[in-house]
Chain A
Amino acid sequence: MAEQAFAGEHIVGPAEAPDDVLRVEHVAKRFGPITAIRDINLHLRKGEVLALLGDNGAGKSTMIKILSGFHKPDTGTMWLKGEPYLPKSVDDARAHGIDTVFQDLALVDQLSVYHNLFLRRERVHRPIPFLSNRLMKREARKALDEIGINIPSLDVPVARLSGGQRQAIAVARTVSGDADIILLDEPLAAMGAKEGAMILDLIARLKAEGNVSIVMILHNYVHVFAACDRVSLIQDGVIVLDKPTSETSVDELTEIVVEEYRRARLAERSGNGAGAAGASSAAPANPTSPDTAE
């Protein structure tokens, strides 16, 4: 079961809308002694762009990795388009139409641009399943052009590309698949202003087309208000705010974050906040092995 709320803490309960494509209720996840998320309630409406906010270690990436099939939740339930959803693997989540841009991008430095773009979705010849490099290269060029990303050569290993280009490739890989729910863990982190604007444009375009629903982890509030319909704010592994962007403001979001910081300091000082301190300080950024591999 989800853990107890701390005194003075407001936890957003399960909510729903008639056109939800994804719903998460009371999901919790521990890694050994560390509680990454305690009680997460989320929902994502069709065609919506949801921002997932929160400090480092609040549990955002863990939540994304649970939705993407990389980790299994300890407790809680998830529904995808009305059906119970518990992905067995990243592949399984992808088969359900959920694809992810991970924070570390999941690119292989030694592989070429097009091999990375088609990783796990390789095009092969028949009947001998050798890679169809020519076909992949052609489709990769098309996919990158559609998005508007300029990568001079598709043959170079991605190690040679800039941080922004690598990020763009990771985004292109997910967007060019046939997922209808896309999860993005800090898609703008390594990007310059120009590349960032390009990705935001892309997201706006996907939203306008209305076929995909998007969950994005972001840090920059300007991006949040520019690109997202709704925000969910995670603190210490619980959702403490869930509002349409039109009904909240940078001031309100900032105030919640600062308030939480004060509360944690206070709890620390009075000595009875060991649980709160533990949960907020030490959540792992990236437990390295998937729960769901094989």
Chain B
Amino acid sequence: MAVTSGAETRPAPGGPAPRRAPAAGGALSIAKKLLTLREGSIIVVTLVTFVYFAITTSNFVTANSFKSLLPYFAPLAIIAAGEVFVMILGEIDLSVGAVYLFTPFMWHVFHHAGLPLYPSIIIALLIAMLIGVVNGIFVAYVGIASFVATLGMLFLLDGLSLVISHSTPVQVPGTKIGAVNNFAQIFGGGTYSELFWAIGIVIVLQLVLSFSRWGIYTVSVGGNRLGAAEAGIRTRQILVRNFVLAALLSGFVGILEVVRTTSATPDPSGSNTILLEVVAAAIIGGTLMTGGDGTIVGALIGALFLGMLTEGLTIKGVSASYLDLYLGIAILIAMTLNVIVRRVRVGSGRG
């Protein structure tokens, strides 16, 4: 932890931005203020990326391009919100992709067994939460490192998804190819449905993180687990609770996505890509892997950055084989800028 003696201060969670003496250049002071935000660096990086694609391509800034970006970044933003809650604890949940894959099959199974639409969704989501409880118990009570516990859960659920589905895609309840009804409209099928869910969930969870007991207990458990326990915080309960949140959001996004595409495909490699992108979005957004610090809004912007990058590179006509290569380079550059900006923000030392 870099501790500086200078007058530069970082806002504490929930606290107002630090006051500064008005600088001579207004733009400079605004830029400085922006950088003192936890999300400052990713906002700058995302803006730069946006301007770059806006200038170098003719059809990046269009409604169509925005619409095709939505299904990419909105699901990431929602799952990343849950992942951030786990990462602030200094833990990681590698099973979010697997829960995302698995939950829709549970929904299908219970609906197929005769349960109506909404009850079967609720049961599927309860099962997702139960998976979170199991993750949390392994980490908090059994004492297995979260990386290992959730890695086990990842394989378990991927395998279970393949077994249950007999490795074949299933038609999702409540949807018809080519016809979007009210239910589908709300739960993922509507053009902006996932965007609204993402924005709503991100706002609520950012408020919870910054302004509620749960939020500061999460920071406490991640920042000083022994101290949090001594202060009387039920650290294990917080651990379990946050794993449940991550699993619930992953399961929910799983349902939104299969409603959008009208079918559930047992494809573990696809869901594991989502996992990696979720973690990338959270880290790019300014959440530390070491715990104690993180931002939901930052993760949303991180997801937006990843989405823009993919969309922009596609529009530029980069061939599919080069896409991942460029994506990787761009992520490394973005993270490097992130670290440099954080260093400026914190004052000195390695962020």
User: Which residues of A are at the interface with B, using a C-beta cutoff of 8 A?
Assistant: 68, 70, 89-91, 94, 100, 102, 104-112, 115, 119-120, 122, 124, 129-131, 133, 153, 155-157, 159-160, 286, 288-290, 293-294
Contact = CB atoms under 8 A, between A and B. Distances in A.
B10 A120 contact: no
Interface on chain A toward B: helix, strand, loop, or mixed SS? Answer: loop
B3 A159 contact: yes
A106 B230 contact: yes
B33 to A, nearest CB: 15
B40 to A, nearest CB: 17
B39 interface: no
B308 to A, nearest CB: 30
B113 interface: no
A109 B236 CA distance: 20
B218 to A, nearest CB: 11
Interface stretch (B12-20, B168-176, B260-268, B329-337): B12-20
B207 interface: yes
Contacts of A286: 226
A133 B226 CA distance: 25
B212 A131 contact: yes
A109 B4 CA distance: 13
B10 A157 contact: yes
Contact of B216 (A68, A100, A122): A122
Contact of B230 (A100, A109, A160): A100
A140 B212 CA distance: 18
Interface of B: 1, 3-4, 9-16, 18, 207, 211-213, 216, 219-220, 222-237, 292-293
Given A90-B232, A124-B213, A289-B229, 13 more contacts: A89-B232, A90-B230, A104-B230, A108-B216, A110-B293, A111-B220, A115-B12, A119-B232, A122-B216, A133-B15, A159-B3, A294-B234, A294-B237
B219 A110 contact: yes
B216 A115 contact: yes
B232 A120 contact: yes
Nearest to B210: A131
A133 B213 CA distance: 11
Contacts of A89: 232, 234
A111 B10 CA distance: 11
Contacts of B216: 108, 111, 115, 119, 122, 131
A120 B230 CA distance: 10
Contact of B292 (A110, A119, A155, A294): A110
Contacts of A155: 9, 11-12, 15-16, 18
Contact of A119 (B3, B9, B16, B233): B233
B232 A160 contact: no
Contacts of B9: 153, 155-156, 160
Contacts of A131: 14, 211-213, 216
Contacts of B237: 294
B224 A107 contact: yes
A294 B232 CA distance: 10
A159 B232 contact: no
A111 B221 CA distance: 11
Contacts of B224: 106-109
Contacts of B10: 156-157
A294 B3 CA distance: 34
Nearest to B221: A108
Contacts of A129: 212-213
A156 B219 contact: no
B99 to A, nearest CB: 24
Given A109-B1, A130-B207, A293-B236, A157 B12 contact: yes
Given A112-B12, A115-B216, A288 B226 contact: yes
Contacts of A130: 207, 211-212
Contact of B233 (A105, A110, A120, A156): A120
A293 B229 contact: yes
Contacts of B212: 129-131
B210 to A, nearest CB: 9
A34 to B, nearest CB: 18
22 contacts: A89-B234, A90-B230, A90-B232, A94-B232, A104-B227, A106-B231, A108-B228, A109-B224, A110-B223, A111-B13, A111-B219, A111-B220, A115-B14, A115-B216, A119-B233, A120-B231, A120-B233, A155-B9, A159-B3, A286-B226, A293-B234, A294-B234
